Amino acid sequence: MEINNNREKSVLIANRYKPLDTSDRGGMGEVLYCEDLHLQRQVVLKYLQAGVEARRLLDEQKALSKLRSKHVVQLYDIVTIPKGGADHPAIVLEFIDGEVLTPGSFSADNDYLHVIWQISCGLTDIHSQGVIHRDIKPSNIKIDSEGVVKILDFGLSRNNSNAETRSIIGTPIFMAPELWGDQTIAFNSSIDVYAFGVTCLALLNITPPSRLKNHPPTQPSWARFSGYFDGIPEEITEILHRCLASDSAVRPTMVEIQTLLAKHLLLNRHRAVVVLNGKPNILDFNNRRIALKASVGSLTIDYDGLSFKVTNFAGAVYMNNTPISAGIIIPGCCVLTFGTGNSRVFVTFDVSNPEVMP
């Protein structure tokens, strides 16, 4: 991105935005840093470079007007900028005091998992509103001064309802295989999942596997891919590998990815409470097993730091009216039933929900 530090200050924009002395230029848009004199804060005004299709700014405006997410840059206002004797439409965006993500700048550790979890949160929020970003890559993601990840640049975004293209648009290494066709191409949010998988790989390694450079790309082998994630739990590596599947139907959803990452980031932080016969039983890092004994049955539950699992039972024991079995994972909130008929004993199982921060 080209930076100009010698821009002359001009008159107020929309009677409230005072241009500062810096601006940026990206692939399609120009960015003018301003001070919002009404709210005493720095903001970003974004407008298109000459010759760029006007739809790009409108698409970004439509997408951002739907989104209210901690991990997505916020749209504040819509204005016009006088330039070259004409008014140009512009959007006013949240100023993010931070740096874009850099390929190869992370190690496979907990800090890395925390960053990609935040990206997954932002994409989950984006997809929940029927929006496809279409240009997920490290340079479109920032970490602010408080460590919060923000997804930027929605100029290529689409709604799920009109997601098709007749041209190859995007950043090649991050483009899913289905985007490389020479006919009208329909696509869905799984292309963002693919780009997320490549981004996760790029943050660990600046040189991508050769298969990802093909047009269209093909999924790296498990042996090659998993080698970059040494030290990361295998089930996380597996779901990231699935992100790069050539068949879009095989790719996970961002909700699945977000949930799995959160589970591992909350290792040993869960706490379950079970009250039986008026006595509370606690399952947590310090007390990893409880044995529940009722007159009509018994149940042993273990906590392995990630989930609560049935390891033993006797008699007629049910979970939410379904017969229980050894090895089953107990969900965060359910009813356990011991016995049948009039001799039944009901017990609630409640798990606290610690939050991954920020």
pLDDT in tens, 52-111: 666 778 889 989 998 989 999 999 999 998 877 788 899 999 999 999 999 999 999 999
Per-residue pLDDT band for 8 (boundaries 50, 70, 90) equals very low
- 221-280 per-position pLDDT tens digit: 999 999 999 999 999 999 999 999 999 999 999 999 999 999 999 999 999 999 988 889
In this model, does residue 3 exceed pLDDT 90? no
Final residue belonging to a domain, choices 202, 236, 265? 265
Query: Which of 212, 232, 265 is a domain's end point?
Result: 265
Residue at 357 is within a domain: no
Instruction: Indicate if 132 and 108 belong to the same structural domain.
Output: yes
The answer on 140 and 243 residing in a single domain is yes
- The pLDDT of residue 318 is 96
Does the pLDDT of residue 7 top 60, yes or no?
A: no
Q: What is the mean pLDDT of the chain?
A: 90
CA atoms within 13 A on the CB side of 62: 16
Residues 299, 166 share a domain: no
**Do 105 and 198 sit in the same domain of this protein?**
yes
Q: Evaluate if residue 174 carries a pLDDT over 80.
A: yes
Residues 167 and 294 in one domain: no
Tokens at 80, concatenated: 């016009």
Whether residues 207 and 326 fall in one domain: no
The whole-number pLDDT of residue 152 equals 95
Inside any domain, residue 330: yes
Q: What is the per-residue pLDDT for 10?
A: 57
Q: Is the pTM for the entire model greater than 0.85? A: yes
Q: Is residue 79 part of a domain?
A: yes
**What pLDDT is recorded for position 343?**
87
Residues 254 and 144 in one domain: yes
Residue at 143 is within a domain? yes
- Judge whether residue 165 has pLDDT over 80: no
Q: Could you tell me the CATH number of the domain that includes residue 185? A: 1.10.510.10
Q: Quick one: average pLDDT of 15-31?
A: 80
Q: Are residues 150 and 244 in the same domain?
A: yes
Is residue 356 in a domain? no
Say yes or no: 245 and 228 in one domain: yes
Q: Are residues 261 and 164 in the same domain?
A: yes
Instruction: Look up the domain containing 54 and give its range.
Output: 2-94
Q: How far apart are the first and last CA of the chain?
A: 28
Domain total for the chain? 3
Domain boundary among 94, 127, 155: 94
**The predicted structure's pLDDT at residue 1:** 39
Task: Please indicate, yes or no, if residue 358 is contained in any of the structural domains.
Answer: no
* pLDDT range class, residue 6, cuts 50, 70, 90: very low
